[in-house]
Amino acid sequence: MRLTDWVVVAAYLGITLAVGIWLARRASGGLVEFFVSGRSLPWWLAGTSMAATTFSVDTPLYVTGLVARRGIAGNWEWWAFALSHVLLIYVFARLWRRAEVVTDVELTEMRYGGRPAAVLRASRAFLFAVPINCIAIGYVMLAMRKVIEVLGLFDQLPGWLPGDPRLWAVVALSAFVLLYAGLAGLWGVVATDFFQFVLAMLGALIVAAFALQEIGGVAELKHQLAAAGRSEALRMVPRPGSAELPFGTFLAYLGIQWWAFRRSDGGGEFVQRLSACRDEREAERAAWLFNILHYVVRAWPWIIVALAAVVVFPELLEPGGDPEIGYPLLMLRYLPAGLLGLVVASFLAAFMSTVSTQINWGASYLVNDLYARFIEPEASPRKLVALGRAASVVIVALAGAAAFSADDVGKVFRFMIAIGTGPGAVLILRWFWWRINAWAELSAMIAGFAIAVTSYLPFWGEIGFGLRLTITAGGAAMIWIPVMLLTAPEDERTLCAFYERVRPGGPGWKRIRERVGVEAVTGLTGDLVRTAWAALALLSGTLALGALLLTEWQVLLLTGGLAAVGLTGLLRLRARRVSA
């Protein structure tokens, strides 16, 4: 890092802080302003913010390690979530916006009633705000620490500082994020997210372009992969019997992971963005934009850099090596002064966009769903905003401690998926079947978490990730289904009030619908058909773009054709809807 690089980084940090200060007054109006921007976000800003939130400094490192170990097909570990994210477009985005919640946890006391609903709300708020959220922020900090280590940033900090200087670097960055996120609330987070996403994508494209130019282009990259015995790394779907990605694990991604995970109906910070949109139509558009940016646009620069790292740094795959650091090593190897600073700023942007979201989201649980609900319901808006800022400090401190208890971003990512598996089916069904009750959701959440954590104990031995997901999802279902059947359904008044507010489609609410006398807003069958066509178009389009970039013409012909079929199906449904 030369002086030019540091100037670029300083300019970026200055702009970000200025935005936070500028929006601070707007965020001080109360909980709705601070946590959901007064429900006035435009769709393009909400959708870009959703994409920026899932694009952090850990993601390119995670993808680099994934491709190095499992090839391109390894990305199905996160591509599989496209099935639930497309469902978000046509089914859940409008439902969440109609519910008008501040947090997704708040929905529990709309959908369920009595003490079980209160216990569920408090349990989910604490579990997601503190242990799960802090681990999530912690592995983002872990990735930032790796980048700092590789680039040698902040190695010259004063010697009187105790401990590892890189720890102080991460703490300083987190304190900076805390400053603008605490000042401006969600408005500051999403405004900076837009700028951060553009900068982070620019950085990824720059690294990919320089790496390809140095290697000699795509054809030479493929030739060198073949010479190294890694041609299989170019496969986008694993073969049965593949050693790199067991086919059973691949099937678990597609058949279990997306619907069994705790965010199967949106969840978390996505709900926060959707609830902040101006209306239901804008929420649907925001979900579409997120899917395009998340799956089609951003994945391939990382994958190309990861393939280049396999060729340039084969030693990282040897015992004791860390393939995740291939990405920052390529930055150091190829980028000139100025551009290196720009890409480092893009890493900071990716880090800050995710951490700021996680801080604001976790604080919303602690303040809205714990303090304001159970401790001081009559607290003034000013006090609640102040408590939100204080809660943000606590979350950052706990996340900093978690950051230095792990060393592999990919392992932590898979651990987060595992402990979140189990309640997903209940979270989907609660929108469409009146019989789901609070006890079913509570037991599914606790059982899934407990089974997943237990599966990491030594007596299990080494088990594949696909088998772990199957055991967790199946074990949770064996608990929550009997619990639901053995406990009483929700009070009919609670069910009627929920249906009148949200008006979900499908046969599961027929009895309640007839009693209330209000029709559903949309038909569930039509929404599911649109979801199927959209998922085909999105995933096929993602693979087609990769095939085009890697000059895999046969794959391009197949995936491009499937994407065209999906788009045609969507357009025909849209035309029928308009004519009707």
488-515 pLDDT per residue, tens? 999 999 999 999 999 998 899 999 999 9
pLDDT at 6: 80
User: Global pTM?
Assistant: 0.84
Amino acid at 478: M
Tell me how far CA of residue 349 lies from CA of 58, 201, 334, in angstroms.
12, 10, 21
pLDDT at 287: 93
Write out the two tokens for 518: 């209000």
Tell me how far CA of residue 354 lies from CA of 177, 181, 202, in angstroms.
10, 11, 17
Local confidence band at 162 (pLDDT 50, 70, 90 cut-offs): low
Local confidence band at 414 (pLDDT 50, 70, 90 cut-offs): confident
Above 70 in pLDDT, residue 422? yes
Above 70 in pLDDT, residue 20? no
Amino acid at 168: W
Amino acid at 135: I
| Closest among 146, 11, 94 to 431, alpha carbons compared | 94
| Percent of residues in the chain assigned helix, strand, coil, to nearest 5 | 80, 0, 20
Cβ neighbours, 10 Å, residue 477: 17
| Closest among 100, 506, 176 to 353, alpha carbons compared | 176
Above 90 in pLDDT, residue 136? no
Spatial distance between the Cα atoms of 242 and 232, rounded to a whole number of angstroms: 9
HEC assignment per residue over 47-82: HHHHHHHCCCCHHHHHHHHHHHHHCHHHHHHHHCCH
Amino acid at 283: A
Cα dihedral 441, 484, 448, 506 in deg (nearest 10): -60
Local confidence band at 167 (pLDDT 50, 70, 90 cut-offs): low
Write out the two tokens for 250: 């691949």
pLDDT at 580: 46
Enumerate the β-bridge partners of residue 41.
277
Enumerate the β-bridge partners of residue 421.
261
Dihedral sign for Cα 440, 441, 443, 448, please: positive
pLDDT at 272: 76
pLDDT at 536: 96
Q: Which of 144-158, 224-238, 482-496 has the lowest mean pLDDT?
A: 144-158
Tell me how far CA of residue 64 lies from CA of 69, 148, 320, 482, in angstroms.
9, 17, 16, 43
Dihedral sign for Cα 402, 403, 405, 410, please: positive
Per residue in 229-242, pLDDT (tens digit) is 888 889 999 888 77
State percent of the chain over pLDDT 70: 87
Spatial distance between the Cα atoms of 36 and 278, rounded to a whole number of angstroms: 11
| Closest among 58, 192, 204, 189 to 136, alpha carbons compared | 58
Write out the two tokens for 539: 């995933």
Residues in the chain: 580
Spatial distance between the Cα atoms of 324 and 314, rounded to a whole number of angstroms: 12
Per residue in 355-378, pLDDT (tens digit) is 777 877 788 888 888 998 888 888
**Mean pLDDT, residues 127-136:** 82
Task: Give the residue carrying structure tokens 């800050």.
Answer: 352
Name every residue whose Cβ is closer than 8 Å to that of residue 116 and which is 6 or more positions away in sequence: 437, 438, 439, 442
User: What domains can be seen in the chain, in order of their start residue?
Assistant: 3-23+41-417 (1.20.1730.10)
pLDDT at 182: 58
Spatial distance between the Cα atoms of 371 and 377, rounded to a whole number of angstroms: 7
Write out the two tokens for 406: 């792990």
Name every residue whose Cβ is closer than 8 Å to that of residue 131 and which is 6 or more positions away in sequence: none
Side-chain half-sphere exposure of 55, counting CA atoms within 13 A: 33
Mean pLDDT value across the chain: 83
pLDDT at 404: 62
Name every residue whose Cβ is closer than 8 Å to that of residue 531 and which is 6 or more positions away in sequence: 86, 87, 89, 90, 91
HEC assignment per residue over 255-313: HHHHHHECCCCCCHHHHHHHHHECCHHHHHHHHHHHHHHHHHHCHHHHHHHHHHHHHHC
Enumerate the β-bridge partners of residue 261.
421
Spatial distance between the Cα atoms of 198 and 48, rounded to a whole number of angstroms: 9
Amino acid at 560: G
